[in-house]
Amino acid sequence: MPYVHDTLERLRKSSPAQTEFYQAAEEVLECLRPLFQHSPHYLDHSIIERIVEPERQIMFRICWTDDAGKVQVNKGYRVQFNSALGPYKGGLRFHPSVTSGTIKFLGFEQIFKNALTGLPIGGGKGGSDFDPKGRSDGEIMRFCQAFMAELYRHIGPTTDVPAGDIGVGGREIGYLYGQYKRLTGRYEGVLTGKGLDWGGSIGRKEATGYGAVYFAQNMLEARGKTLEGKTCLVSGAGNVAIYTIEKLYEMGARPITCSDSRGTLHDPRGIDLDLLKELKEVKRASLEAYLEHHSEASYIPVGEYPEDGHAVWRIKADAAFPCATQNELTAGDAEVLLKNGITCISEGANMPSTADAVDRFLEARIAYGPGKAANAGGVATSQLEMAQNSSMEQWPLEKVDAKLKEIMANIHQQCADTAEEFGEPTNLVLGANIAGFRKVADAMIDQGVV
Ligand code: NDP
């Protein structure tokens, strides 16, 4: 279909070097071909040209002073991608690899993910190339304050509500919120992932990981199976990975790995979750320190990874949960996983599998849950936090968790039904992209050319 091809070509010319963004856009647009054949009216409204273009992109300078008194300068971004379904919603990422292309890819994915939740939220994303590693609490605070000193004028509880992502957890959200309050004088739900004593939702911290496990369970149940007794690989050792591991244990599965930017940990008896939380949430230490407590575990440093992929995916298991970062699972990894008999992959991270790896999983017809569906539990619970803030309530865990479970089951059902409708019942990538797109596109058509 020349239309899809031309749009992608135009993007390559107009946004040079944003390779992750093209990867995300190409996946979505390629999946939409059968929809356009079936419903060509989407082409009449130039929806795809409009949907790949952010409504607004804000880029700013962040100046702050480090502990040595030196002035540091970083780049800041907020991409307000699409507000057809509600206020812009999406996290902030602080990582040295962040560029405008990274934020654009994440914001683009967020549009469809948020649509799949069925909640009234549009898509946005932001962040900075700031590296929090090795920085003192004081430096983190000063950086967050400087970041918010610019961002505050562009966000608000009914316009744009950021949350956390890589490098932005409870501590950073606290500093960002404090600065927003100081600058505006308003105590309002402008960020999610807040502390439980000052507007946060019970269950938000756990929601992305728990949701990815619920999604895996939904996919397996549709095939007459469960997670019980399954050996699982998890990558990452941050917010999403930790609560994926926690929920896997609750489901009777055995998570045997986790990883960070320095290496991979393999504990065949099952990851010691309390120790992992202490190392990562409290001490912010390397995973290598785990070996001081568990001599049966092994640690593979990044330097010893296979040339064509990641050590974590070379370990034999039944299910895999990529929960670290984009493109962390290659075609080479996918081939080894499939050879080792993997039956289920549920993505906690955003776009963790390369396009070639996704093709391998789809060809093998295993249960494969793409990130924009499988990790939507985090943003869904963020929206529940917004609802609690606007009614000045705090709901109990049972209520939040029941809603999360229901939302994940609905997302799975929508993806499966849409995949079936378009004649590829096991292809949840197609199902997620078409189902998410249709909601946003229909709202854009209803709201006219704006
Ligand atoms: P955290 O910062 O809490 O954890 C990220 C983990 O991944 C850390 O263990 C980090 O290692 C590792 N990691 C990050 N970048 C790299 C890299 N380039 N190479 C190897 N390891 C890396 O982030 P989250 O857990 O919040 O986010 C993880 C993923 O989940 C991201 O893709 C994010 O976009 C996605 N996501 C997060 C949501 C949320 O609610 N937080 C919601 C939906 C998706 P180290 O500790 O060494 O830095």
Helices of type H across 132-203: 137-151, 170-184
Taking the whole predicted model, whether its pTM rises above 0.95 is answered as yes
3 pLDDT tier (thresholds 50, 70, 90): confident
Q: Is a pLDDT exceeding 80 seen at residue 37?
A: yes
Q: Ligand 1 centre from 95 Cα, in Å?
A: 10
Q: What is the mean pLDDT of residues 358-366?
A: 98
Q: Report d(CA 44, CA 84) in Å as an integer.
A: 18
Pocket test for ligand 1, best of 245, 261, 281, 290 (most atoms within 8 A of CB): 261
User: Catalytic positions, please?
Assistant: 125
**Binding pocket residue ranges, ligand 1, CB within 6 Å:** 164-167, 169, 208, 236-241, 260-262, 323-325, 348-350, 375, 378
Ligand 1 atom closest to 352 (CA): 32
Q: What is the mean pLDDT of residues 248-274?
A: 98
**What's residue 5's pLDDT?**
86
Both tokens of 270, joined, read 């099952």
Q: Is a pLDDT exceeding 90 seen at residue 1?
A: no
* DSSP structure class, residue 281: I
The residue whose CA has the least distance to atom 21 of ligand 1 is 261
In this predicted model, what pLDDT tens digit does every residue of 72-118 receive, in sequence order?
A: 999 999 999 999 999 999 999 999 999 999 999 999 999 999 999 99
Tell me whether strands 319-321 and 367-369 are parallel, antiparallel or unpaired.
unpaired
The residue whose CA has the least distance to atom 4 of ligand 1 is 238
Sheet-wide strand order for 257-259: 257-259, 263-266, 298-301
DSSP E strand boundaries for 279-331: 298-301, 319-321
Residue 57 annotated in ligand binding: no
Ligand 1 atom closest to 240 (CA): 25
Q: Is a pLDDT exceeding 90 seen at residue 223?
A: yes
- Taken as a whole, the chain contains a residue count of 450
Q: Is a pLDDT exceeding 90 seen at residue 4?
A: no
Q: What is the mean pLDDT of the chain?
A: 97
Q: Ligand 1 centre from 7 Cα, in Å?
A: 31
- The structural domains of the chain, ordered by start, are 2-190 (3.40.50.10860), 206-365 (3.40.50.720)
In this predicted model, what pLDDT tens digit does every residue of 306-328 receive, in sequence order?
A: 999 999 999 999 999 999 999 99
**Under 8 Å between Cβ of 107 and 125:** yes
Q: What is the mean pLDDT of residues 182-210?
A: 97
Ligand 1 atom closest to 382 (CA): 40
**Under 8 Å between Cβ of 110 and 77:** no
In this predicted model, what pLDDT tens digit does every residue of 13-32 receive, in sequence order?
A: 998 899 999 999 999 999 99
Residues 6 or more apart whose Cβ sits within 8 Å of residue 340: 316, 317
State which amino acid sits at residue 289: A
Q: Which helix (H) or strand (E) holds 71?
A: strand 71-82
Q: Ligand 1 centre from 329 Cα, in Å?
A: 14
**What's residue 351's pLDDT?**
98
Q: Report d(CA 183, CA 253) in Å as an integer.
A: 47
